[in-house]
Structure 1
Amino acid sequence: MRMITVDEDRRVTREQGLMLQAVGCVVTNSQATYVSGPITTGNRFSAWYASTGRNFVMGSQEYLLRLTSDVIQPNEKAIHRVASAIRERSSVPVIEPASLAVPDWSQQEYLSFWLRIIQKFVSTIVLVSGWEFSVGCATEFRCASRLGLPILDELGNCVGSQQGEALITAAATRIEQIAEGAAPLIQLAQVLRNHRI
């Protein structure tokens, strides 16, 4: 794992601060609905990696191209679909993570930013189907639970803290079942089980 330098950390903190100000120009505190869905991982990634992704050298150009076409783009479409449906039936601002691309941000930097958005601007979280297979979504769920925010699935059903944790645990178990020794999947399952914000 590459260590982040102090200068990189300052740049990211500044970028995030400016983006938060921009969001604050449109959304008042605790007013928005946030759509949480997997982008780079999730159930789609686990199934893809178990069947296809393990055949490529992780990080290679071919791996990244297939990950983008087979996992990231379909995941982003699912998030956009849910966000569009909410926008059609509500006048509340909807924030979704699939439309933001910041060159050089790590997954941790994205997650840090979205957690700050949730804490400052969000009144309700909507979980895209399969969210429980994503470390980012699980972290966003846990943040929203701690804040006492209403959490809904994409069909509008409430997802309580215990129910959500049970779904995360079941997802980790399912990932372990299909891992067949694949280190990235085993690590994903472990992080889902053990990660807390």
Structure 2
Amino acid sequence: MCGGASSRMQKEIGVNKAFLPFGGKNSLVAYQIDSLSSYFDNIYLSAKEPKFGTAYSYIYDVTQLHNIDLTTLFAPTLSLYSVLLKIQQDTLFIPIDMPLISIQTLKKLLDLSLNNHQATVLRVDGKIYPTCAVYKPSILSNLEQMIIKNLHKLQVFLDEIDTIYLDTSSSEEFVNINNYSEYQRICKNEINTFGRK
């Protein structure tokens, strides 16, 4: 998921965080795709437009739903809806700003998702990460209603559907890069790839 406005980073340094160099690559996007491509056959960028170049496979956000213009909406609900509508199968979502999440954690999410729950979501020390999860297409009608009603809080959404959580303890692998100081801190330390190549 990399279609967000990256508003905090934009205000701080004038750059979308997805474009920041990371892990020896020219951007977080390139790092995520390169480090995950050995483990997954299909990797798609969820975005509003092909802002990361033509080398990647995109799933673009739906621009209209029931005569509602969604072109200016930056919300994870829209990303989930657009991807699941296009793919129509269980899908693992990873936020672009969580580059250290381990392959082992992703495998645990996928294994747990084999149950019949509509959502399998990462929860670290009680904190829910709804954009690091596996979702089933059966949530599409719920997402559609949320978007129509202009409701976009995924934690509220998770309470309304059949959700199971992968509980784990805090670790550096779950760091979100939300501001420039977090980005600098991660980059200053030697990057532990947590099982990625």
The interval holding the TM-score normalised by the smaller chain is 0.3 to 0.5
TM-score by length of 2: 0.33
Q: Select the structure that is richer in strand.
A: 2
Q: Select the structure that is richer in helix.
A: 1
Higher relative CO (CA 8 A, sep ≥ 6), structure 1 or 2? 1
